[in-house]
Amino acid sequence: MIAMEQRLREALSRRQKQSIIDAKLVPSAVLVPIYYKEGQYHILFTKRTDKVKEHKRQISFPGGAHREEDGTLLDTALRECAEEIGLVPTEVEVLGELDDTRTDTSNYNISPFVGVIPWPYQFKVDGWETEELIEIPVSALMDNECLSQQTRVIGGQAVISYSYHYQGRVIWGATARILHQFLDIFAAVIVI
C-alpha cells in the first residue's frame, strides 16, 4: 500500500505538468481523493446538487474556484474539500499534480491534485454543492468496459472525449479527462 503510494508520488513528480495560461479562464482546483479499502484503491467522487449554478447533478471531484485568500491552488482544492465533504486538509497526503484541464462550457481552468485520504472517514456532505459521495474502485474504472471514447472536431482540431460508466452512473467532461490522465499514470506504476 505505502509502496504504491510512493511509486505514484514519484511518477507524478517526474512528469512535466502541462499548465494552461489564459486570463479569460477562472482558476480552480480539485482533489482526486484516493484511499485503500478492502484490498484495493478507490477514488471518491461527489455528485453535485441541482442547487449549484453550474454543472448541476454532475459527478465530479471535490473542488471549486480559487479565492484570493486561498493563496495557492492546492489551498483551494483542500478548502473546497473541507467545505463540500468535511475532509480536514491536514489529513490529506498530497502526492502530486496532474495537467490543467479546462471545462468546455463554464470557462474554468482546473488544476487537479492527487491525494491519499484516510479510510474509513466521517465525511460531512454539505448538501448545498454536494448531494452524495460516490466511491468507485480504481480496478473498475480501469476495466475497458467502463470507458467510452469519442473523437469530435472542435475549432478544426480532433478532440478525444471520454466517459466512464459504472453502476448506472456516468463520469464525463473535465472530470473524465482528469480521471483518464490519473488512470494512465496509475496503470504505469502498478506494472513496475
pLDDT at 51: 80
Q: Render pLDDT for 21-78 as a digit per residue (tens, 0 to 9).
A: 999 999 999 999 999 999 999 999 999 988 876 766 799 999 999 999 999 999 999 9
pLDDT at 30: 98
**Closest among 182, 138, 131 to 44, alpha carbons compared:** 138
Contact 91, 85 (CB under 8 A): no
What CATH number does residue 63 fall under?
3.90.79.10
Name the band, by pLDDT with cuts 50, 70 and 90, for residue 157.
confident
CA count, 13 A, side-chain hemisphere, 133: 17
For the chain, the domain total comes to 1
> Is pLDDT above 70 for 188?
yes
Q: Render pLDDT for 100-137 as a digit per residue (tens, 0 to 9).
A: 999 877 889 999 999 999 999 999 999 889 999 999 99
Domain holding 130, by residue range, is: 2-139
Quote the CA–CA distance of 3 and 173 in Å, as a whole number. Answer: 31
Query: Model-level pTM greater than 0.75?
Result: yes
Mean pLDDT along residues 138-153: 93
Is residue 58 in a domain? yes
pLDDT at 155: 74
> Is pLDDT above 80 for 186?
yes
Is residue 161 in a domain? no
Is residue 79 in a domain? yes
Residue 144 is classified by DSSP as G
Contact 112, 73 (CB under 8 A): no
CA count, 13 A, side-chain hemisphere, 23: 0
Is residue 148 in a domain? no
Is residue 93 in a domain? yes
Percentage of residues in the chain with pLDDT exceeding 70? 96
pLDDT at 1: 65
Is residue 180 in a domain? no
Name the band, by pLDDT with cuts 50, 70 and 90, for residue 160.
confident
Is residue 151 in a domain? no
Is residue 119 in a domain? yes
How far from 185 is each of 32, 94, 109, 154, 189, CA to CA, in Å? Answer: 13, 15, 21, 26, 6
